[in-house]
Amino acid sequence: MNPPRKDIPAQAIQKLADSKSLAVITGAGVSAESGVPTFRGKDGLWKNYQPHQLATPMAFHDDPGLVWEWYHWRRQTVLACLPNPAHNAIARMEERVKDFTLITQNVDRLHARAGSERVLELHGDLHRARCSECSAITDLEGQEGVVVCELCGGAMRPNVVWFGESLDIRILEEAYRACGRSDCLIVAGTSNVVQPAASLAYAALENNGYVLEVNLDPTPLTGSATDTVLGKAGEVLEELVKLAFGES
Distance of CA 35 to the CA centre of its chain: 15
Q: Are 103 and 25 in contact (CB under 8 A)?
A: yes
Side-chain half-sphere of 33: how many Cα atoms within 13 Å? 24
How far is it, in rounded angstroms, from Cα 155 to Cα 158? 10
Q: What are phi and psi of 64, to 5 degrees?
A: -60, -30
At 214, phi and psi to the nearest 5?
-125, 115
Give me the count of residues in the chain: 248
- Helix axes of 233-245 and 85-96: crossing angle, nearest 10 degrees: 30
Cβ atoms of 156 and 171 within 8 Å: the answer is: no
**Residue in 52, 61, 111, 123 annotated catalytic:** 123
111 is an active site residue: no
Give the Cα separation of 87 and 237 in Å (integer).
Answer: 9
**Catalytic positions, written as ranges:** 123
